[in-house]
Amino acid sequence: MSSLGQWQTLFVDEVAGEGLYLHSPELGEVFLPAEQAPDEIERGDSLSVFVYLDSMGHPTATRTKPRAQVGDFALLQVKQVNNIGAFLDWGLEKDLLVPFNEQKPRMQPERSYLVKLYLDNASKRICASSNLNKFVGRAKPDYKSGDQVEIIVAAKTDLGFKVIVDELHWGLIFHNRVHRNLFVGQRMNAYVQQCREDGKVDILLEAPGMAKIDPIKQQILDALNTKGGILPLGDKSTPEAIKRQFGTSKANFKKAIGGLFKDGLIDIEATQIKLKTRP
């Protein structure tokens, strides 16, 4: 596997006025410009660098960490579009190319898109693609209900939020299961509700069943302790008010405060809850 487009450790082969010449087992000589070199460096020392191709196609290193590397999904902004393709700001001096045939949809300047970084086999250039179906949904998911996964929010749809599950599978969070603000490019842990026959995965933001209640109970206790022991939320509070405060549904909130009441920790009223005072 090529080390192009990867953050890695290389060793110094030569120290020169114009910069450092580093050795890469896969790429051979890699140049690090003098302005990127540390003040005190000697032959044989190691450096953590990111390796890419300069405008002449030569392997070049930088100590500036990009926003993403080859293999990553990232939300990046378009700086310009010309007759070659779109160029994204990924935190380096040389912008990241998205060829026209890798743009779905066609990209516009100053807009941000979720892309996958890859190494083009023909040109050996680091590129990006917003045609995510090339990389996602190629393997059949094998999860059980309740399995924890990592998701990346990919798009908002009529049904809910389309997500990438473990960087491999397409998933969906239905609108009625969303109780917090989500945005494209956001990464978080989530839970499998079910795997569908079409190869997609239904996703929950909270663990299914009672497993999700304990974290909500702790959130409520923490909020009570910071608010003097009283919160203006109770059995009759609106779902919207509960969602704003705790990012969960009213049903889960009621299960949580019911558990805290049974534990003898709170009193519940129509529009507020209180920490019980200890004798």
Bridge partner residues of 4 (DSSP)? none
Percent of the chain at pLDDT > 70 equals 97
Whether pLDDT at 211 is above 70: no
CA distance 53 to 187: 29
What digits encode the pLDDT tens for the residues 112-121?
999 999 999 8
Which one is predicted more confidently, 209 or 196? 196
Bond from prior residue into 66 cis (ω within 30 degrees of 0): no
Report CA torsion sign: 39, 96, 152, 7.
negative
Q: Burial letters for 197-219: b for 16+ Cβ neighbours within 10 Å, e otherwise? A: eeebbbbbbbbeeeebbeebbeb
pLDDT of residue 1: 46
Does residue 91 come out as left (phi exceeding 0), alpha (psi in the -120 to 50 range) or beta? left
Spatial neighbors of 257 by CB under 8 A, at least 6 apart, are 220, 234, 266, 268, 273
Report CA torsion sign: 156, 160, 166, 168.
negative
Bridge partner residues of 241 (DSSP)? none
For range 209-229, the mean pLDDT: 82
CA distance 134 to 116: 10
Confidence band for 191, pLDDT divided at 50, 70 and 90: very high
What residue ranges define each of the domains in the chain, with the CATH number in brackets? Answer: 7-62 (2.40.50.140), 73-133 (2.40.50.140), 148-205 (2.40.50.140), 210-275 (1.10.10.10)
CA distance 63 to 54: 14
Whether pLDDT at 179 is above 80: no
Taking a C-beta distance cutoff of 8 angstroms, is the pair 87, 44 a contact? no
| Least confident range of 19-23, 91-95, 134-138, 210-214 | 210-214
What digits encode the pLDDT tens for the residues 243-270?
889 988 888 899 889 988 888 889 998 8
Taking a C-beta distance cutoff of 8 angstroms, is the pair 5, 126 a contact? yes
What digits encode the pLDDT tens for the residues 164-175?
999 999 999 999
DSSP conformation class of 66: P
Does residue 202 come out as left (phi exceeding 0), alpha (psi in the -120 to 50 range) or beta? beta
pTM, entire model:
0.77
Closest CA to 216 of 191, 249, 240: 249
What digits encode the pLDDT tens for the residues 89-141?
999 989 999 999 999 999 999 999 999 999 998 888 999 999 999 999 999 99
CA distance 231 to 228: 8
pLDDT of residue 278: 56
Classify 261 as helix, strand or coil. Answer: helix
